[in-house]
Structure 1
């Protein structure tokens, strides 16, 4: 790898041994992927995927203490993934004990994040790119992020440039101020390897379509044709909400870090099908294919007929339009069923900034009246323990389904279950 004089000086120890190790790590990372140089991180803010103070992460805390002792802090203020705990979420006494034990280092870790450069104490969300979260990258900016759903959104919808890094690598990129140039940071790396032709009879469920695409193309870049028929050609708040969930499913059910939507996402609008590589394979998605994908999901509940004890919506976090829309949908479904409150404990999760703005609207009291809990928690972290794993939890998030024991249902099925069915 060819380094600038300033980068080489850092590697040689000009700012101390700790910074030299940071740069050496980035160099080794880049060389593993064939990078020939470093490029500056140009975004105003960073982001870290590690937001949970789990007790077994002792090496991480020790590493961060070393960085802080050496003054090796982030050159950018940064946001972080959601906190793992919220006392308002329904839980048993035993679960509370487990949570307290599991996340015994939460206070210590959050103190480290503040010293390393955390934006503020409310900067905890996986959807850091939402306007209310205050971390919206501009087109063409180079990022050093790792959160898969944020990376794919920033690359695809915002037109920023970021590889799918690891949690430690992302912080080191922000500390050094540069990252190795390869993959999705290059023009060639942003070319589409697959064409996805949509032939459904209606707008497909974002989670199912993302899952289908992710499992087919894996880490490659898809160019999706036909979705603009349903979403239009403007990146409205509703369209962005759809693409947020589509991308998160593609990133978790595969390893997609970038997608192009014909006539809609920035690079597809500018370059069109010239983005597609020659002889790229075509994947046709119709109603039958989506049904096949959905029917193939495993359920690891011990009792497949168990009554759900909890429902999570919002992985990644819901945006403002989704909260408003779901408030109305739940109200109407409850009225039709003759119920006043949801029949399954239900949690909608969102970013702190979105929650603050939502609570200033008429919808907040209406949602609360339905019995739905609004939270800024990370559902995945709630589920990531033996007791929660045994709970029959349902969700319409393909990301949560993939990483936990939560059972997947479509939005329509979820609405029916939480307002009238129970099972």
Structure 2
């Protein structure tokens, strides 16, 4: 790899042995993917996917101590994925005990994060790009992130540039201030090798559409046509929320790090079909294909006919407009819950939402508003055995939670039955 003078000085130890090791690691990482050079990280904020203080992650904590002691701190303030614990979430005695054992290092780990450059105590969310959070990258900025749903959103909806990095490597990029130049950082790597043709008779469910795309293209870049006829050509709050959920499903059911939507996402608006490679394959998605994809999801509950004990809405975290929309939808159905419902959002989004007239209305329905990571909650073996339902394809993919569409979820939590 070709390094400039400043980069070579770092790797040769001019700024300390610890930072030299960080740079050597990034160079090795880049060389593994054929990168020929390093480029500066230009975003104002980093993001770390590893937010949980699992007792077994001793090497991570030792690494963090080494970085702190060596003065290799983040060159930019960073946000972190959601916390795995929250006092407002209902748990029984044994679940609570297991949580305390599993995440015994949470408090200590958060102290390490603060020393390394954590933005603030509220910066725990997978939707770090929300306006309220304060870590929204600009178009064309180079990032060092790993959280899959955040990476795909930043690349696609915001037009920033970031590879699907691994955990810790993302932090190294923020510490060194450089990342290897390959993949989705390059113009060629951002071209689409798939053309997705949406031919549905109604607005596709974002979670199922993203799932279908992810399972078909896997890690490739898709160019989606026909979707703007349902979403329009303006990136308003509702459209951004739709694309957030679609992208998260594509990133978890596949490994999509970037998609383009014709007439809608910034690079597609600028360059149009020029983003599609000449040999791109085509995938047509109609009503029947979406139904086929949905029916392919397995139910891994011990008793498939069990009555759900809990419902999670918000993985990734909900936007302000989604919280408002869910409040209105619950009220339209009488606002009475048949099972406990947890809606999750970023702490900063919750802070803004709680100042609106919607907050007491949502609370009146009985919904629990939290900033927990639903995935981390479900990874507790005792919680994982519970029959939990969700409208998140990401949560369905990584846990035992059972997926239902937004309409099905609304019916289930207000009537106790699904149509």
- TM-score class normalised by the smaller sequence: over 0.9
Deviation at 1:11, TM superposition (A): 1.1
Aligned to 2:360: 365
- What's the secondary structure of 1:195's corresponding residue? strand
Gaps of 5+ in 1: none
Aligned to 1:12: 12
Q: How does 1:218-237 map to 2 (within 5 A)?
A: 218-237=218-237
Whole-Å Cα distance in 1 between the matches of residues 179 and 327 of structure 2? 42
Whole-Å Cα distance in 2 between the matches of residues 13 and 79 of structure 1? 28
Whole-Å Cα distance in 2 between the matches of residues 262 and 422 of structure 1? 38
Q: TM-score, normalised by structure 2?
A: 0.99
Deviation at 1:341, TM superposition (A): 2.3
Deviation at 1:422, TM superposition (A): 4.8
RMSD after superposition: 0.7
Q: How does 1:96-245 map to 2 (within 5 A)?
A: 96-245=96-245
* Runs of 4 or more consecutive aligned structure 1 residues displaced over 3 Å after TM superposition: none
Whole-Å Cα distance in 2 between the matches of residues 45 and 279 of structure 1? 37
Whole-Å Cα distance in 2 between the matches of residues 17 and 308 of structure 1? 53
Aligned to 2:52: 52
Match of 1:418 among 389, 392, 413: 413
Aligned to 2:371: 376
Match of 1:393 among 388, 393, 402: 388
Q: What is the total number of aligned residue pairs between the two structures?
A: 418
Whole-Å Cα distance in 1 between the matches of residues 123 and 232 of structure 2? 32
Whole-Å Cα distance in 1 between the matches of residues 403 and 106 of structure 2? 30
- What's the secondary structure of 2:278's corresponding residue? coil
Q: TM-score, normalised by structure 1?
A: 0.98
Deviation at 1:279, TM superposition (A): 2.2
Deviations 1:394-423 (A, max 9, x none): 001000000000000111110010000256
Contact 1:214 1:253 in 2 (8 A): yes
Contact 1:85 1:382 in 2 (8 A): yes
Whole-Å Cα distance in 2 between the matches of residues 86 and 68 of structure 1? 27
Aligned to 1:305: 305
- What's the secondary structure of 1:75's corresponding residue? coil
Deviation at 1:259, TM superposition (A): 0.2
Deviations 1:11-39 (A, max 9, x none): 11112221111011001000000000000
Whole-Å Cα distance in 1 between the matches of residues 228 and 78 of structure 2? 33
Whole-Å Cα distance in 1 between the matches of residues 135 and 117 of structure 2? 14
Deviation at 1:9, TM superposition (A): 1.4
Gaps of 5+ in 2: none
Deviation at 1:10, TM superposition (A): 1.3
